[in-house]
């Protein structure tokens, strides 16, 4: 069936899509479908990048908790303080039932306690 060529074509199309709208504002309603494709491809780097762009751009996208967790875990492993704190703050607002735990993540990231964060 030519799976590799379809994958390459999809990657090119997604790249063009992001060039046209780097904040992904037009994907507000479909952001989770977009992220699902990268999840299927097991591309956590791209998921983290997209989540961070949406969060740092102030977009009102309704990203699913699982993608936030993927991005948070990715940035913890990379020891990216601003990204961890920003994503954790956004998650706290969207998922108040997790706010207390996320406050711990924010505090640990602020203090640079990556060895502890990586074990959570």
Kindly report, residue by residue over 3-23, the tens digit of the pLDDT.
566 778 888 888 888 888 877
pTM confidence score: 0.86
Residue of 117, 116, 115 whose CA lies nearest to 83: 117
Alpha carbon distances (Å) from 7 to 14, 35, 81: 10, 15, 33
CA 120/CA 30 separation, integer angstroms: 30
Alpha carbon distances (Å) from 20 to 23, 35, 41, 68: 9, 17, 22, 24
Kindly report, residue by residue over 101-117, the tens digit of the pLDDT.
999 999 999 999 999 99
Kindly report, residue by residue over 28-39, the tens digit of the pLDDT.
778 899 899 999
């Amino acid at each position: 069936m030519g799976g590799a060529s379809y994958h390459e074509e999809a990657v090119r199309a997604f790249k063009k899509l992001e060039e046209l709208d780097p904040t992904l504002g037009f994907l507000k309603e479909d952001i989770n479908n977009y992220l699902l494709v990268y999840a299927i491809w097991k591309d956590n780097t791209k998921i983290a990048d997209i989540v961070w762009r949406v969060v740092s751009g102030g977009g009102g996208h309704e990203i699913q908790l699982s993608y936030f967790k993927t991005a948070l875990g990715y940035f913890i492993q990379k020891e990216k303080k601003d990204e961890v704190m920003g994503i954790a703050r956004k998650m706290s607002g969207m998922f108040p039932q997790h706010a207390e735990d996320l406050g711990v993540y924010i505090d640990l990231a602020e203090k640079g306690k990556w060895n502890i964060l990586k074990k959570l």
